[in-house]
Amino acid sequence: MDAPLQSIDQVRATLIDLAIKFGPKLFTAIVILAAGVFAARWVGQVLGKGLAKFELEVPVRQLLTRLVHVLVVGLFLIMALQNLGVELLPLIAGLGVAGAGIALAMQGVLSNVVAGLTIIFTKPFRVGDWIHVVGVEGEVTHIRLFSTTLAHADRSNVVVPNRKIVGEILHNHGRMRQLDVVVGVAYDTDLAQAVSTLEALLRANARVLQDPPPVVQTRVLADSSIQIAVKPWVAVRDYVVAHGEINDAIVARFRAGGIVIPFPQRELRMRSA
């Protein structure tokens, strides 16, 4: 019975010695880390309020706030480790080797991050813009470090990796798009009446923007009709609906005004030998 009791006493004595030796340092390190977390939150809140005064995208503000948060916590972590007597140079060297291996294994992820930072800071498009890129199109709903999300016209979402966007040809429509409607009228039509009718129906449509003003003009003198281009500006979200409404209004107004939309036709004359 004496041997086990002596072993327990030795373990207890060892633990007491360790607690006396390292307890204050460990307690101080925990206090330093806790202070670092609170300090990082406070600095992040102050920085967020300061950045809100500038015209920066939400992802940019979030990124800067998180970077400052990580830097403050990292600074207090170094102070805590130094208080515990940890040698930082071997630790930093080990982290460097591990970081190089991780970077090689995550080249695709890192390229997305770099591309995301490029998009965030160069601002080729913003949230709410309608863009065409790498064969897809949609309204930009989210810009993240790894990917950009587009809302398609069919209510689906298209997630595009950022590395696929940077370096590609990008067509940014902004927050409005121009419709391209073409209607043909007969050659004996009063063009002034036809144009005024088209302008009136565009003014009557609530989806059509008046600034910039719509474009209504003769486009082509075709074989069997005079083609008139109707090109109003509409908000991105109204593009599909406005296209149908304008086509319906053109048919109704032209019928009511006696303006003929001719069928394609060609006249052939047969000559005897």
Residues ≥6 apart with Cβ < 8 Å to 176: 209, 233, 234, 235, 236
Residue 28 or residue 55, greater confidence? 28
Cα atoms found within 13 Å of the Cα of residue 25, Cβ hemisphere only: 13
Domain's final residue, options 33, 63, 86? 86
Is the domain of 218 the same as that of 229? yes
Is 91 among the domain residues? no
Burial of 188 (0-12, 13-18, 19+ CB in 10 A): exposed
Strand ranges across the sheet with 176-178: 176-178, 233-235, 208-209
Find the domain containing 55 and state its range.
Answer: 2-86
Query: What distance in Å separates the CA atoms of residue 240 and residue 249, rounded to the nearest whole number?
Result: 15
Give me the mean pLDDT over the 238-267 stretch. 87
Is 102 among the domain residues? no
Amino acid (one-letter) located at 142: H
Structure-block tokens of residue 203: 């003014």
Q: Interior CA angle at 209 toward 183 and 150, to 5°?
A: 95
Give me the mean pLDDT over the 114-123 stretch. 82
Number of domains into which the chain is organized = 3
Is the domain of 248 the same as that of 218? yes
pLDDT digits (tens, 9 = 90+) for 163-216: 888 888 888 888 888 888 999 898 888 888 999 999 999 998 889 988 889 989
Query: What distance in Å separates the CA atoms of residue 177 and residue 268, rounded to the nearest whole number?
Result: 42
Is the domain of 133 the same as that of 184? no
Is the domain of 155 the same as that of 181? no
Domain's final residue, options 86, 115, 143? 86
Is the domain of 163 the same as that of 181? no
Give the global pTM.
0.58
pLDDT digits (tens, 9 = 90+) for 12-52: 666 566 566 666 767 777 777 788 888 888 877 777 777 67
pLDDT digits (tens, 9 = 90+) for 78-100: 777 776 666 666 656 666 666 65
pLDDT digits (tens, 9 = 90+) for 211-220: 889 989 888 8
Q: Which of 81, 85, 62, 61 is nearest to 73 (CA)?
A: 81
Pair 225, 186: CB distance under 8 Å: yes
pLDDT digits (tens, 9 = 90+) for 132-169: 888 888 889 888 878 889 988 778 888 999 888 888 88
Is 114 among the domain residues? no
Q: Which of 69, 57, 25 is nearest to 129 (CA)?
A: 57
Pair 149, 223: CB distance under 8 Å: no
Is the domain of 157 the same as that of 202? no
